[in-house]
Amino acid sequence: MTDELNKNKEIEEQVEELENSPQNKASDTSSNLDVDDIIFDEDAELGDNQVVKKLREKLKTAVDEKQAYLDGWQRDKAEFMNARKRDEEAKQDFLKFAKLNVIEDILPVLDSFDMAMANKASWDTISAEWRKGVEGIYNQLLGALTKQGVSAFGAKGDSFDPNLHQSVSMVPTDDKSQDHTVADVLQKGYMLSGKVVRAAMVQVYEA
């Protein structure tokens, strides 16, 4: 790239020298410039104006070639950056997919905890120390999943959303304000980084 710029500068200096020379301004005076030293042998018999014209043409060609090289380099750079971006996205998708498989395997364990603790009649008969220990393990598991971007959703009173909830049955109600809201959650839903991993299984009020 430096050699190309030096070449262009040299040609520009030659053009300027020819244009400002007294020989170029006086039509009856022949040029004293050694054209062989300026650029090409085939220009030796040409007049100054013709030499200037040829030099301009060669300068334009050099500039066009430089621009073509620059455009090609910029395209290659853009393609390289896009390729790196695609590779990074593919890597993140792979890691997320691998994480998703592990999370899906853990969800039934969380469901077992939820069902055990939801049965108040049986849960309250267990010693307080044992309940505290189980709840501690459950909270540790939830905390570990939270660090990985997992969050639970689904609660009574939520507005029914087919993107988040799976309705298994309808519950009649005379209260119109409850229409199409969650009456009961049979199984919690879970998200991974904002994407639904599993919809919540719910019953829905119907006025």
Q: What is the pLDDT of residues 66-81, one digit of tens each?
A: 888 888 888 888 888 8
Q: What is the pLDDT of residue 79?
A: 84
Looking at residue 110, its pLDDT comes to 93
pLDDT at 140: 94
What is the rounded CA–CA span in Å between residue 67 and residue 73? 10
Average pLDDT score over residue span 111-127: 88
Average pLDDT for 89-102? 76
Rounded distance, CA 90 to CA 97, Å? 10
Mean pLDDT of 83-110: 82
- For 85-111, what is the mean pLDDT? 82
| Nearest one of 104, 92, 113 to 150, comparing CA atoms | 104
Q: List the structure tokens of 14.
A: 């030659």
pLDDT at site 18: 56
For 21-52, the pLDDT digits (tens) are 555 444 444 444 444 444 444 545 556 678 77
Per-residue pLDDT, averaged over 196-206, amounts to: 95
Write down the pTM of the prediction.
0.55
The reply to whether CATH 3.30.410.40 applies to domain 150-207 is no
Mean per-residue pLDDT over the chain, rounded: 80
Which positions ≥6 away from 121 have C-beta within 8 Å? none
Domain ranges of the chain: 2-86, 150-207
